[in-house]
């Protein structure tokens, strides 16, 4: 179990070496169209949605290690497929495999960490170890963003080749994991459905589920539309041809900024409490697309640097708090259900967005601003609802 805990940050680091993150929209838009690029991402979310709960159930029944091995193998396959390129259906098939990767890792990775800590008598260290994992992930994202952006200056395919190599290493690390035992602190075992029912009777678990679902979607708004924002901001300037490199530098900078913020996150968690911290992080997520809808030029690019700050403030603590409320019989199933709901909601909004823009070439600036403004206005309503619900929660 000590080996699992030591390998976990490396697992998160390698899984975050997504060299294509800085150029994926630009690459797909060049190969297909703006509308098809959005649709491709929606296909990924739909594929993950269909697999979320089944993969969580398999993880709870089959084991954490074999589930993560399937995830890593699918990641390796999808990176290789996208590197070769092809028509829309080929990219769609690659996105389905990417959905397998995401779904089979969703909830299972943190469950392996928690059960390894529990077996080692260190369950109370989950906050700290999850933060280490998140920092490793942010470091991987920052490094791969700037390197991927630089590679794309020569060819947009190179970031996908680099990611293929990284995911090969991920598979090797995953094979080195050992299956953790069941949590010995739980005195009796129940079925998956009964275990889920017990969890849904906890107001805190339900509230964490809801805010986790919404924060997933709003975190990805700026991810999906960030590259069009950069492309629009650089249009007509001397850097217009350097959009992939600038996108990589921006992504690396936002991850680096989030690493700095994560240093202060534990103190904020202690000072203001979990609920208040999560609400503030969600409010930040909502404000970002609203600001991007009206910002122009360099200001818009600077705003994107704050995209991952809410995740640094919220996600490690949200996951750690949920793990303490869950049972082994439904641990990964519950977390997969949360991811499923988040992906369904976000995919639905993406399909609507895809019908609101062109199906040929680049996305018009006016369409982009309209979509971002709609996300921001909807988010304000949701934030109010979560705040009202939070008044009934016990202090944490």
Q: Give the DSSP letter string of 218-282.
A: HHHHHHHHHHHHHHHHHTTSTTGGGHHHHHHHHHHHHHHHHHHHHHHHHHHHHHH-HHHHHHHHH
| DSSP three-state, residue 3 | helix
Q: What is the spatial distance between Cα 71 and Cα 106, in angstroms, rounded to a whole number?
A: 9
Q: In this structure, which topology does domain 2-179+192-390 adopt according to CATH?
A: Growth Hormone; Chain: A; (1.20.1250)
Tell me what pLDDT residue 392 has: 77
Q: What's the Cα-to-Cα distance from 119 to each of 64, 114, 230, 309, rounded to whole Å? A: 14, 9, 47, 32
Q: Which of 356, 335, 330, 358 lies closest to 52, judged by CA? A: 335
Give the pair of three-digit tokens for residue 298.
Answer: 């360099």
211, 278 in Cβ contact below 8 A?
Answer: yes
Rounded-to-integer distance, Cα 260 and Cα 269, Å: 15
Is the pLDDT confidence value at 187 over 50? no
Using 50, 70 and 90 to split pLDDT, how confident is the model at 112?
Answer: very high
pTM attached to this predicted model:
0.71
pLDDT tier, 7 (very low <50, low <70, confident <90, very high otherwise): very high
Cα 278 to Cα 177: distance, rounded to the nearest angstrom: 32
Q: List b or e across 197-209, with b for residues whose CB sees 16 or more CB atoms inside 10 angstroms.
A: ebbeeeebbebbb
Residue 157 has pLDDT above 50, yes or no: yes
Residue 236 to residue 5: CA distance in whole angstroms = 49
The DSSP symbol for 20 reads G
Per-residue pLDDT tens digits for 84-96: 877 788 888 888 9
Rounded Cα–Cα distance for residues 189 and 194 (Å): 10
- Nearest one of 128, 122, 123, 180 to 325, comparing CA atoms: 123
Q: What band does 278 get if pLDDT is binned at 50, 70 and 90?
A: very high
Contact predicate 181/87, CB 8 Å: no
What are the strands, taking DSSP E only, across 116-208?
Answer: none
Residue 210: how many CB atoms within 10 A of its CB? Answer: 17
Q: How confident is the model at residue 183 (pLDDT cuts 50, 70, 90)?
A: low
Each residue of 359-376: pLDDT tens digit? Answer: 545 567 677 788 888 899
Arithmetic mean of pLDDT, 379-394? 88
If one counts every other C-beta atom within 10 angstroms of the C-beta of residue 346, the result is 23
Question: Are residues 40 and 32 in contact, defined by beta-carbon separation less than 8 angstroms?
Answer: yes
The single residue listed with the structure tokens 């020569």 is 154
| C-alpha–C-alpha distance, residues 68 and 108, integer Å | 7
Residue 327, pLDDT score:
80
Among residues 348, 354, 349, 347, the alpha carbon closest in space to that of 368 is found at: 354
* Lowest-pLDDT choice from 46-50, 199-203, 267-271: 46-50
Cα gap 385→329, rounded to integer Å? 31
**Residue 72: pLDDT band with limits 50, 70, 90:** very high
Residue 358 DSSP symbol: -
pLDDT at residue 358 is higher than 70: no
Each residue's pLDDT tens digit, 8-51? 999 999 999 998 877 777 777 667 776 677 777 778 877 877 88
Q: Smallest Cα–Cα separation from 266: which of 316, 211, 223, 332?
A: 316
> What integer pLDDT is reported at residue 270 of this predicted model?
87
What's the mean pLDDT in 371-395? 88
Tell whether the torsion through CA atoms of 258, 262, 263 and 264 is positive or negative: positive
């Amino acid at each position: 179990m000590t080996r699992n805990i030591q390998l976990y940050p490396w697992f998160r680091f390698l899984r975050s070496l997504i060299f294509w993150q800085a150029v994926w929209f630009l690459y797909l838009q060049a190969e297909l169209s703006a509308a098809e690029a959005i649709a491709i991402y929606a296909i990924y979310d739909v594929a993950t949605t269909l697999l979320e709960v089944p993969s969580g159930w398999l993880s709870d029944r089959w084991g954490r290690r074999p589930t993560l091995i399937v995830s890593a193998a699918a990641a390796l396959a999808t990176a290789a497929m996208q590197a070769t390129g092809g028509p829309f259906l080929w990219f769609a098939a690659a996105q389905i495999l990417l959905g397998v990767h995401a779904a089979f890792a969703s909830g299972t990775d943190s469950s392996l960490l928690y059960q390894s800590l529990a077996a080692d008598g260190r369950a109370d260290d989950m906050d700290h170890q999850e933060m280490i994992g998140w920092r490793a992930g942010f470091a991987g994202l920052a490094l791969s963003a700037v390197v991927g952006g630089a590679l794309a200056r020569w060819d947009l395919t190179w970031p996908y080749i680099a990611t293929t190599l990284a995911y090969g290493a991920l598979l090797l690390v995953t094979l080195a994991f050992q299956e953790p035992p069941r949590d010995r602190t739980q005195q009796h075992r129940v079925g998956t459905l009964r275990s889920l029912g017990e969890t849904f009777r906890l107001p805190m678990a339900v509230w964490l589920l809801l805010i986790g679902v919404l924060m997933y979607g709003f975190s990805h708004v700026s991810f999906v539309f960030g590259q069009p924002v950069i492309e629009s901001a650089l249009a007509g300037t001397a850097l217009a041809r350097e959009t992939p490199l600038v996108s990589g530098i921006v992504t690396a900078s936002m991850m680096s900024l989030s690493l700095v913020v994560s240093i202060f996150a534990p103190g904020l968690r202690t000072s203001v409490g979990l609920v208040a911290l999560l609400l503030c992080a969600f409010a930040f997520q909502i404000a970002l697309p609203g600001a991007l809808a009206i910002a122009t030029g360099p200001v818009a690019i600077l705003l994107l640097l704050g995209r991952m700050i809410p995740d640094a403030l919220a996600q490690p603590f949200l996951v750690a708090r949920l793990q303490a409320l869950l049972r082994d019989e439904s641990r990964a199933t519950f977390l997969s259900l949360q991811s499923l709901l988040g992906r369904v909601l976000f995919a639905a909004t993406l399909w609507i967005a895809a019908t609101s823009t062109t199906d040929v070439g680049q996305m018009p600036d006016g369409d982009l601003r309209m979509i971002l403004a709609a996300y921001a206005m909807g988010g304000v309503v949701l934030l109010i609802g979560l705040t009202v619900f939070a008044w009934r929660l016990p202090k944490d």
